[in-house]
Amino acid sequence: MEDLTLTKLSKDCGGWASKIGPSDLSQVLRNLPKFDEPNLLVGFDTADDAAVYKLTDELALIQTVDIFPPVVDDPYVYGQIAATNSLSDVWAMGGEAKLCMNVLMFPETVPFEDVNAILKGGYDKVKEANAIIVGGHTIKDEIPKYGLCVSGIVHPDKILKNNSIQDGDALILTKSIGTGVLVNAYRGKILKDKMSRQQHPIASLTKVMNILVALDQVDRGNAKLDDKVCFTPQIVNMGGSWLNAKAGDCYTLKDLLRAEIIYSANNAAYLVAHHISKGNLDNFVKLMNDKARELGMNDTRYYTPAGLPTSMTNKNMDISTAYDMYLLGRRAVRDERLRAWMKESELVLQNSEGEDVVYNNRNHLLDKFGIYGLKTGFHVQAGYNMIVSSKIGNLEIISVTLGNKSDDARTEDQEQEFTQLEKRMIPVYKAGQEIGGKFKIKNAEQKEIKGVLSTNVYQLDNTNYKFEVKDLQVTAEKEGISKGDVIGKLEVLSDDNKVVGTVDIVAQNDYKQLSLFRRILRFITFGLA
């Protein structure tokens, strides 16, 4: 199988993304008994990387196991990565790896030489770590998986644990901190994945869900966008980003929602939640979590309406993953109201003195790389987070980055992602290009009109789109057909013939309405309108 692609065999659970999220795992383990063993120095109840058992006063045993599906297509490199990941659990505890056993699962479709290459990659990394492989276990499975069971040693007094980190300890980073995902929103296809299923505090990204829940209630008739909502003394002074308002100042629900998405105003978010829930914020948060489950955001937990840190709320921090934030962003841009608000560069509201106050959009990437939204977020524990939505020609892109060290780093991270993405975009059609297909028109001087594409059309280097023109029969009203009016659609089809997007086909020129006399004459002569 010369064209074997290991990552395709992983399906939707490649690499670390295959792991169960920490919150779900805690639920799975919650009722299991704890062993009462004085020599067990580290068990599974502390969320550490490995277990540690005391053998003597000078020696303790470290044991761990770790496997995951392929993250790269090269079998040898995949074996190296998986083995290094398993060994790192011992190093993370301050220990030295000694004995390793292979844990390997693979389907019959994988050639033996590739399986051997996976194992060879693992062997070479184990040898580099001055450890040895002494056997292992294999099993047939639909999805390939590889890793190691590793035994190591450490002095009992030199164990590194999650709860033993102290102020002033040095951290040696082998890569940048943060998680992210870049997704083609048409297909839900992940273009680039960096630990996208790792849970992380999301800060003000929470406000996107706040807005969606409020809009749901508007759609159900439980609230109106023109509702007048007034600040209470308890809410008006919420910290962080906030509207410059006083207790008793009133705004429309619509303007409060705009303040959330444009300026990330915390007092606006709390006032929206207070209004929608009639003062019961816990009920509003429940609606947010219910909505998250509805959208498939299984690793997301909301505790606040705005994403503020524990120090300001005395509640747990809202947590999610880059992948779940993609799901949230994809839903957000499908709401035409929210899509329009996130595009606004500024929000102008009157204060209690009747003066205009300008609140600038915190998304510094607006209008770059086709970016028109979405939301930023920051607090000390979360770092600098961001969801952006982009429309480049026919391509809808959602990009998420979490845990950046600064506002500049957050912006640079996104700019780099989109710069790399542009290199992968292959032009298929240009905006203004005449497109095939006959577009019939009624009540016009011409029976057929020419259509051109409204925007550039691209496909990515790893896709194979097909394109079909869908004709529309257009009727020329009193003013006729104007240049730029939509007269048809170009459907973008995936390789399994599913519609993954559409591009408007518009009239190339103006077309005048046929006079009533000439319409009657044409009908008498040809039987046509």
Can you read off the two tokens belonging to residue 2? 């010369």
Residue 219 predicted with pLDDT over 60: yes
Residue 24 predicted with pLDDT over 70: no
Residue at which a domain ends, from 140, 172, 204: 172
**Integer CA distances (angstroms), 224 to 216, 220, 227, 291, 512, in order:** 11, 10, 5, 20, 41
Is 221 contained in some domain?
Answer: yes
Is 431 contained in some domain?
Answer: no
Residue at which a domain ends, from 155, 172, 189: 172
- pLDDT mean over 217-240: 90
Residue 458 predicted with pLDDT over 90: no
Question: Which of 25-39, 144-158, 503-517 reaches the highest mean pLDDT?
Answer: 144-158
17 and 76 co-located in one domain: yes
- Hey, what amino acid is at 301? R
41 and 84 co-located in one domain: yes
453 lies in which domain range? 439-526
128 and 190 co-located in one domain: no
Pick 368 or 302 by higher pLDDT: 302
| Distance separating alpha carbons of residues 386 and 259, to the nearest angstrom | 17
- Residues 6 or more apart whose CB falls under 8 angstroms from that of 464 comprise 495
- pLDDT mean over 424-429: 79
Can you read off the two tokens belonging to residue 441? 């028109």
Q: Please, is 472 exposed, middle or buried when counting C-beta atoms within 10 Å of its C-beta (0-12, 13-18, 19+)?
A: middle
Residue 436 predicted with pLDDT over 70: no
Task: Determine the length of the chain.
Answer: 529
**H helix runs in 264-394, sequence order:** 266-276, 281-294, 310-313, 322-333, 336-342
- Could you tell me the CATH number of the domain that includes residue 507? 2.60.410
381 and 512 co-located in one domain: no
The model's pLDDT over 79-99, given as tens digits with 9 standing for 90+, comes to 999 999 899 889 888 899 999
Work out how many domains the chain is built from and give that number: 3
406 and 353 co-located in one domain: yes
The model's pLDDT over 96-113, given as tens digits with 9 standing for 90+, comes to 999 999 999 988 878 888
Query: What three-state secondary structure class fits 350?
Result: strand
415 and 449 co-located in one domain: no
pLDDT of residue 46: 65
pLDDT of residue 370: 83
| Distance separating alpha carbons of residues 107 and 139, to the nearest angstrom | 9
154 and 197 co-located in one domain: no
Can you read off the two tokens belonging to residue 264? 């990330």
- Classify the C-alpha dihedral 518-523-528-529 as positive or negative: positive
Residue 1 predicted with pLDDT over 50: no
The model's pLDDT over 68-82, given as tens digits with 9 standing for 90+, comes to 888 777 888 889 999
Backbone angles phi, psi at 22, to 5 degrees: -55, -40
* Strand ranges of the sheet holding 466-471, from the earlier edge strand across to the other edge: 451-453, 499-507, 486-493, 466-471
415 and 465 co-located in one domain: no
For residue 196, name the pLDDT band (cuts at 50, 70, 90). Answer: low
244 and 186 co-located in one domain: yes
Mean pLDDT of the chain: 80
137 and 281 co-located in one domain: no
Is 430 contained in some domain?
Answer: no
- pLDDT mean over 9-36: 55
The model's pLDDT over 498-515, given as tens digits with 9 standing for 90+, comes to 777 778 888 777 765 544
The model's pLDDT over 351-407, given as tens digits with 9 standing for 90+, comes to 777 788 899 988 888 888 888 888 989 888 888 888 988 888 777 888 888 888 888
Is 45 contained in some domain?
Answer: yes
Residue 501: alpha-carbon gap to chain centroid:
19
Residue 171 predicted with pLDDT over 80: no
Residue at which a domain ends, from 137, 152, 172: 172
- Could you tell me the CATH number of the domain that includes residue 247? 3.40.710.10
- Could you tell me the CATH number of the domain that includes residue 141? 3.30.1330.10
145 and 258 co-located in one domain: no
Is 433 contained in some domain?
Answer: no
Cβ atoms within 10 A of the Cβ of 379, count? 21
Is 457 contained in some domain?
Answer: yes
Q: Do 493 and 467 touch, CB atoms closer than 8 A?
A: yes
- pLDDT mean over 38-65: 87
Q: What angle do CA 397, 333, 218 make, to 5 degrees?
A: 170
DSSP-assigned states of every residue in 478-522: TT-B-TT-EEEEEEEE-TTS-EEEEEEEEESS-BPBPPHHHHHHH
**Which of 360, 408, 366 lies closest to 384, judged by CA?**
408
224 and 119 co-located in one domain: no
DSSP at 52? E
The pTM assigned to this predicted structure is 0.59
Is 80 contained in some domain?
Answer: yes
